[in-house]
Amino acid sequence: MRQLLRAALLLPGILFLFACKQPVKGRNGITYKTPADYNDYIISRQTRLIKNIIALGRVAGDYVDSAYGMLDTCAADASRAIDEIKGMPPYREDSAFRDAAVRSFSFYKKLFDESYKRILAIRQQGGDDTEEGSREILDITDQVKREEEVLDKQLHNAQTSFAEKYHMKMRPNTIQKEIDKQD
């Protein structure tokens, strides 16, 4: 009887260990073998979007028309990233990290479709040389910063929780250095 009880207690533990090693596959056709694979998939899309924003900022400083032309490509890339992330399954029934990424990437898409487009349109028309145009640009950028801070914090917290849950060490993203150069 004692050995049967011991075996009954070990079986859930063995099943749990087996379940932890099971890869998960999403609608996007990608199999995530480890939590790190899942994390890296999301972060690689985020990095791509941030690089687009950095490139857009560099071009917009001197070439407003060229930057305006980049917006559709950047928006399409954001849409693709959103679709790719939405195609991910929850990782072991946990979708918080994925869902935070979708919200964040949807924000970036909105930036390309609306906020950045409006700022560049004002600049194309010479509005940034007027008090009214400068005020509108400032209002837009302030609103963007407020929204971005909230979404960045949510994504960071979701990623941190995910990393802690699966005993992953987080390391700084190299893109942060480029972001810091922009400020």
Comparing 29 with 87, which gets the higher pLDDT?
87
3-state secondary structure the chain: CHHHHHHHHHHHHHHHHHHHCCCEECCCCCEECCHHHHHHHHHHHHHHHHHHHHHHHHHHHHCHHHHHHHHHHHHHHHHHHHHHHHCCCCECCECHHHHHHHHHHHHHHHHHHHHHHHHHHHHHCCHHHCHHHHHHHHHHHHHHHHHHHHHHHHHHHHHHHHHHHCCCCCCCCCHHHHHHHHC
Condensed to tens digits (0 to 9), the pLDDT of residues 85-112 reads 999 999 999 999 999 999 999 999 999 9
pLDDT at 16 over 80: no
Which residues neighbour 149 within 8 Å (Cβ) at sequence distance 6 or greater? none
pTM: 0.80
> If we measure between CA atoms, which residue out of 65, 176, 51 comes closest to residue 124?
65
In sequence order, what are the beta bridge partners of 94? 91
Which residues neighbour 41 within 8 Å (Cβ) at sequence distance 6 or greater? 30, 32, 84, 88
- Taking the C-alpha atoms of residue 177 and residue 169, their distance in angstroms, rounded to an integer, is 20
Condensed to tens digits (0 to 9), the pLDDT of residues 36-71 reads 999 999 999 999 999 999 999 999 989 999 999 999
Condensed to tens digits (0 to 9), the pLDDT of residues 112-149 reads 999 999 999 999 988 788 899 999 999 999 999 999 99
* pLDDT at residue 37, as a whole number: 93
Backbone angles phi, psi at 25, to 5 degrees: -120, 135
